[in-house]
């Protein structure tokens, strides 16, 4: 699994604008080691990966995510509020993850929007998790594979959906309140 994390390095280095929509998890670029370890361990178990290296893979994922701290890279993340509540690791690691989300959201090159569960009306329902790398690639995560979309008309459709989901999200103090409520619910 560590090799899989490393296989994305070149794509990450060559991307200036990451746009990520996640309905189920905190996106990888914003994950802590404990949270990533929980996710990667579950994935390794599902796929019967021999010699589970989820701890090393989590470390590699966090190291790779440092790209958002380098000049020339920006991240716009839209996360469904439900993703803040899915406990994929122990409560302490989950609290650390949510706390890091508060910190990362304050970075000038990072925008974190949360789509509230109690949204009165939506233009888009929760979709599959997807990543947009600049305007050249969309990656969709499935149980068995990652689908890579490169056709311009299909990328345009994902960008349209992303903008509608982004428009439904709350930011700043409202987003921090939803994250804090998720932290409080852990206790």
Does residue 25 carry a pLDDT above 70? Answer: yes
The topology under which CATH files domain 2-184 is: Endonuclease; Chain A (3.30.870)
Number of other CB atoms surrounding residue 186 within 10 Å: 13
pTM for this entry:
0.92
> Where do the domains of the chain lie?
2-184
Closest CA to 81 of 187, 180, 186: 180
> Between helices 91-104 and 172-184, what is the axis angle to 10°?
170
According to DSSP, the residues that pair with 18 across neighbouring strands are: 75, 133
Structure tokens given for 127? 């979709």
Q: What is the pLDDT of residue 178?
A: 98
pLDDT of the residue at 6: 53
CA of residue 59 relative to chain centroid, distance: 16
Q: Which pLDDT does position 131 carry in this prediction?
A: 98
Split at pLDDT 50, 70, 90, the class of 166 is very high
- CA–CA dist 62, 8 (Å, integer): 12
pLDDT, tens digit (0-9, with 9 covering 90-100), for 101-160: 999 999 999 999 999 999 888 888 899 999 999 999 999 989 888 899 999 999 999 999
């Amino acid at each position: 699994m560590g090799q899989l994390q490393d296989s994305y390095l070149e794509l990450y280095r060559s991307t200036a604008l990451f746009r990520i929509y996640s309905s189920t998890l905190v996106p990888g670029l914003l994950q802590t080691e404990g949270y990533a370890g929980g996710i990667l361990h579950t994935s390794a178990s599902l796929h019967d990966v021999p010699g589970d290296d989820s701890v090393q893979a989590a470390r590699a994922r966090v190291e790779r995510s440092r790209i958002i701290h380098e000049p020339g890279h920006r991240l716009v993340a839209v996360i469904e509020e439900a993703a803040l509540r899915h406990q994929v690791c122990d409560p302490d690691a989950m609290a650390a993850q949510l706390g890091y989300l508060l910190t990362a959201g304050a970075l000038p090159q990072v925008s974190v929007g949360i789509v509230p569960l109690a949204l009165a009306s939506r233009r888009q329902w929760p979709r599959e998790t997807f990543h947009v790398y600049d305007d050249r690639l969309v990656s969709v995560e499935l149980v068995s594979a990652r689908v890579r979309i490169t056709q311009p008309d299909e990328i345009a459709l994902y960008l349209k959906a992303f903008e509608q989901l982004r428009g439904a999200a709350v930011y700043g103090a409202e987003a921090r309140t939803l994250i804090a409520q998720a932290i409080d619910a852990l206790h």
